[in-house]
Structure 1
Amino acid sequence: MSAQPGFQTHVHTLGKGARRALALHCTMAFGGAWAGVARALSGHITLIAPDMPSHGKSDDWDEVSHLSDTAVISAASAMDDAPMDVIGHSFGAMTALRIAVSYPERVRSLTVIEPVFFAISRQDAPDTIESYESHSEPFAQAVQDRDWETAARAFNGMWSDDAAPSWDSLPERTRAAMVRGVHVVPGSRSVLYEDDRGLLRPGGVDAIAVPTLMLRGQNADPAIIAANDGLVARIPDARQAIVPGAGHMAPITHPDATAAIWKQFLDTVGQEALRV
């Protein structure tokens, strides 16, 4: 891996339960975005939630090192020595997959929420990628122009649904944080589209041996549905569940439903029962 030298990670601790999980957030959020899920599991689970590069209080990505490598190594550095449950959302879900492949001895269970693993969609359902890329043209143009405010606004609109606040209704501080973080999106393309870290090669996701839950919103983008379905087909002990009424941002817009489904899954892993 080629991580950013000297990268400093800020880590949030949410909840006070005996069971401990690593929680990895989506692009343009931060570790505290898991607060709703943590509240729903209050007293039963502790979430260790690092801020990814250029997000929250973590260092900015230097735009030179491999973004995904930096995210993986910084997240792994926040983990306990004992195996943990790992949950990730969107780009955080990609990081979670990589941790399960690279550090299998440290993962007790894996929960992957709408990973933006477009390399699978390209293989299994290329028409969904064509549709997604057509929809994302305004964002792509803003990135090409390095107009990060326009890019952040477009990206937020692409992945939000009716349950999420509009860009103009967001606090100025939140919009500024999104503008700061959106430059990581083009930096993630090689791992998401090209699978340059080999997750789809033999010994990648097909070697994940822990119980795995693939979770998505009922209203997920077709490219995301293809990625979820493709991972279920490739990971030996994987199952899938759907958050009713949710879009891409289920852990934030539907935290109680997300937590309830996750709890049911964790109860099958053989650790102490959780009660929501």
Structure 2
Amino acid sequence: MTIAAIEGNGNHKVLVLHGWALDSGVWLTARALSDVGRFTFAYVDFPGYGVARDEAPADGIDGMAQAALDDAKGLGWESFSVLGHSMGGLTALRVATLAPQQVRSVVAVTPASPAGTPLDEQTYAAFASAWSDPGPTIKGGLSPNIAAEDLSRLVARNRASMTQAVWDAYLANWTAASFFSELGSLEMPVTLFYGDSDPFITEDYLKDTVNAIPNVESLELKGSGHYPMIEAPAASVPLWERALTK
């Protein structure tokens, strides 16, 4: 199993999936604000990250989704929701398409596209080389308003929770996603959140995904870039918890 933590005793069970640049520690501030009476949260580290650091990276988005489903099976969860951030939001949608009878709802926070994110050679190289110092990429291209102290903690956690090989493998995974054609089969409630200051995952970027899902809502998170669980947790947590229970 790749579960980093289980919190709560609520009847509504939630798999929580992290993004590319950080393990499940990205949710730490939000965890303190979460409703652990109503929900039970299982925080997943994808293979190669955090508590699963000794494992080989998952093979593509399908491999990541299967790792999450294996964790749910290991917990004995037959019905659950999925909350994911960025690459994890993309994976949450894939979990739903692979196990639609098990997934109650999906909340994807600043999610990458299920159609893939084709980056030109220069941009891809810039994302790949950001491993040596991810701070400027996060501040400059993802969360321009993130506080210096929060950025410093995020970068330190990045260094402690993964290797460059994992960074490279998962960059390839999320940019090459390819299950867009399956989104129309989703019947459960799906909510997509984007930060009002995120220059990368914008309302326009999400437009095709929104149009492809039958039962979907797209909502803006005020005061946030790409990392609302770090930048605006007090405002964001109640919104995505409400979305989980649609």
The answer to whether TM tops 0.5 is yes
Using the TM superposition, give the Cα deviation of residue 118 of structure 1 relative to its aligned residue in structure 2, in angstroms: 7.4
Change (3 A) 1:156 1:219: closer
Structure 1 residues 118, 83: CA separation in 2 closer, same or farther (over 3 Å shift)?
A: closer
2:26 aligns to what SS in structure 1?
Answer: helix
Q: Distance in 2 between matches of 1:67 and 1:205?
A: 18
Of the structure 1 ranges 218-227 and 168-177, higher mean CA displacement relative to structure 2 is found in 168-177
Question: Which segment is superposed worse, 166-175 or 97-106?
Answer: 166-175
Aligned partner of 1:62 in structure 2 is 56
SS in 1 for 2:157: helix
Where do 1:74-113 residues align within 5 Å? 74-79=67-72, 80-113=76-109
Q: Equivalent of 2:243, from 253, 256, 265?
A: 265
Greater Rg, structure 1 or structure 2? 1
Q: Secondary structure at the match of 2:48?
A: coil
One-letter amino acid of the counterpart of residue 103, structure 2: V
| Matches of 1:85 and 1:214, distance apart in 2 | 14
**5+ residue gaps, structure 2:** none
Q: Is the 8 A contact 1:30 1:52 kept in 2?
A: yes
Structure-2 change in CA distance of 1:176 and 1:242 (3 Å): same
- On the 8 A contact 1:116/1:224 being kept in 2, the answer is no
Residues 194 and 220, structure 2, Cα contact 8 Å, conserved in 1: yes
Amino acid corresponding to residue 41 of structure 2 in structure 1: L
RMSD: 3.0
Residue 19 of structure 2, aligned match among 26, 47, 50: 26
Measure the CA separation in 2 of the matches of 1:168 and 1:210.
35
* Structure 1 length-normalised TM: 0.74
- Using structure 2 for the length normalisation, give the TM-score: 0.82
Q: Count residues in correspondence.
A: 241
Partner residue in 1 for 2:169 = 187
Task: Give the Å deviation of 1:110.
Answer: 0.6
**Cα distance in 2 between the residues matched to 1:224 and 1:175:** 24
Q: Verify: 1:47 aligned to 2:27, yes or no.
A: no
- Once the two structures are aligned, what percentage of the paired residues are identical? 22
The answer to whether the Cα contact below 8 Å between 2:138 and 2:144 also exists between their aligned partners in 1 is no
CA distance in 2, matches of 1:31, 1:67: 19
Q: What is the CA–CA distance in structure 2 between the aligned matches of 1:229 and 1:252, rounded to whole Å?
A: 25
Alignment of 1:238-253 (within 5 A): 238-253=216-231
